[in-house]
């Protein structure tokens, strides 16, 4: 289950001896200005108000049923201080789960991913003509992980804003997934490299990627691995918890059975064993991917472990 090894890595540097021969596609820095092909207005898709006591963490969820087909081409996080991360998913409405805001837990998600954000996530604009379809009648679920490191109560409003485009302007329907591993075990005062894989269930083209770890993460690398060919590097950067953003990449085509490999370097500066978990004091090893076409994939794509894939 666990693919990890000790390593004498310097903070923020790639693990020594871990760089294969790879091709590297062009990447594009996240745009903070609206591209010329996007002329819609920003709108709040879903939000939740919350309060968190000092030194505490927890979860708040908001549900909202969609009243029309929506073709979303841009996402922006509303993430004031105290928002550890957000995950926006969508699925069929559930009996006994009305629209509204309520306390929840880390596993409260629907079946399909729309957008995730962490601290410092920038605005994401899809390529021209690419959108995610949010069908009429389905229910959005915004899961907020909140953490208050202060010595007084804090409160806020967190959520997701979007830009829509008309159906006539859509040329590609996209979907989002989280690739990586849940098999994380970082011994006290050690640095480890943990590897996870996501196997393509059919032919896909990946066009955006974002890293996600917690506070012990120092470096993340992501590779597309077409069968019989050299791996293609699609992300290779030092990791900072306060800067978790999607980047558009030169599209990478993968066939059914090809893999995406995610390598996470964690530096455990504590005297305790750290394992996978949603808490700020546990760790993760994921890469958020956007790909085309949309086929209704589950929100988690993890080869090495059976994990919950939504309610």
Per residue of the chain (311 residues), what is the pLDDT tens digit? 222 232 333 344 444 434 444 454 544 444 434 454 455 799 999 999 999 999 999 999 999 999 999 999 999 999 898 888 889 999 998 877 899 999 998 889 888 989 988 777 889 999 999 999 999 999 999 999 999 988 999 999 999 999 999 999 999 999 999 999 999 999 999 999 999 999 999 999 999 999 999 999 999 999 999 999 999 999 999 998 877 789 999 999 999 999 999 999 999 999 999 999 877 789 999 999 999 999 999 989 999 764 444 44
Query: What is the C-alpha to C-alpha distance for residues 288 and 208, in angstroms, rounded to an integer?
Result: 8
In CATH terms, 43-172 corresponds, of 2.60.40.10, 2.60.120.310, 2.20.28.120, 3.40.50.620, to 2.60.120.310
- Of 2, 311, 310, 59, whose CA–CA distance to 182 is shortest? 2
Q: What are the extents of the domains in the chain?
A: 4-29+179-205+215-294, 43-172
pLDDT of residue 245: 85
Domain spanning 4-29+179-205+215-294 has what CATH number?
A: 2.60.120.230
Q: What number of CA atoms fall less than 13 Å from residue 298's CA on the CB side?
A: 15
pLDDT of residue 186: 97
- Give the CA distances from residue 111 to residues 14, 50, 126, 300, 308, in Å, rounded to whole numbers and listed in that order: 34, 24, 22, 9, 10
Phi-psi domain of 102 (left: phi exceeds 0; alpha: psi -120 through 50; beta: other): beta
Query: What is the C-alpha to C-alpha distance for residues 301 and 310, in angstroms, rounded to an integer?
Result: 12
Query: What is the C-alpha to C-alpha distance for residues 155 and 149, in angstroms, rounded to an integer?
Result: 12
Q: Do domains 4-29+179-205+215-294 and 43-172 have the same CATH topology?
A: yes
What is the reported pTM? 0.81
Tokens for 225?
């691995």
Beta bridge partners of 54: none
Query: What is the C-alpha to C-alpha distance for residues 281 and 187, in angstroms, rounded to an integer?
Result: 14
* R_g over Cα of the chain: 19
- Give the CA distances from residue 305 to residues 47, 60, 114, 134, 217, in Å, rounded to whole numbers and listed in that order: 32, 26, 22, 28, 21
């Amino acid at each position: 289950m666990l693919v990890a090894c000790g390593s004498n890595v310097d903070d923020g540097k790639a693990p020594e001896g871990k760089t294969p021969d790879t091709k590297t596609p062009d990447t594009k820095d996240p745009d903070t200005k609206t591209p010329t092909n996007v002329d819609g207005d920003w709108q709040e898709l879903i939000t939740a108000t919350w309060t968190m006591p000092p030194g505490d963490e927890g979860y708040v969820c908001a549900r909202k049923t969609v009243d029309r087909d929506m073709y979303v081409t841009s996402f922006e996080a509303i993430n004031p201080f105290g928002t550890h991360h957000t995950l926006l998913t969508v699925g069929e409405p559930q009996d006994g789960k009305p629209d509204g805001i309520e306390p929840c837990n880390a596993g409260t998600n629907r079946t399909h991913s729309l957008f995730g954000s962490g601290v410092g996530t920038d605005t994401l604009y899809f390529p021209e003509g690419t959108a995610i379809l949010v069908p009429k009648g389905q229910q959005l679920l915004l899961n907020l992980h909140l953490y208050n490191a202060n010595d007084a109560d804090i409160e806020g409003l967190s959520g997701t804003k979007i830009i829509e485009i008309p159906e006539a302007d859509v040329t590609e329907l996209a979907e989002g997934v989280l690739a990586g591993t849940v098999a994380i075990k970082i011994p006290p005062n050690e640095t480890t490299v943990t590897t996870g894989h996501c196997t393509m269930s059919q032919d896909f083209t990946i066009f955006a990627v974002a890293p996600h770890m917690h506070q012990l993460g120092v470096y993340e690398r992501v590779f597309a691995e077409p069968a019989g060919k050299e791996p293609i590097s699609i992300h290779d950067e030092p990791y900072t918890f306060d800067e978790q953003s999607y980047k558009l990449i030169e599209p990478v085509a993968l066939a059914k059975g090809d893999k995406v490999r995610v390598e996470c370097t964690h530096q455990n500066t504590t005297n305790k064993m750290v394992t996978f978990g949603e808490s700020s004091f546990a760790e993760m090893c994921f890469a958020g991917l956007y790909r085309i076409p949309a086929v209704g994939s589950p929100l988690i794509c993890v080869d090495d472990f059976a994990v919950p894939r939504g309610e």
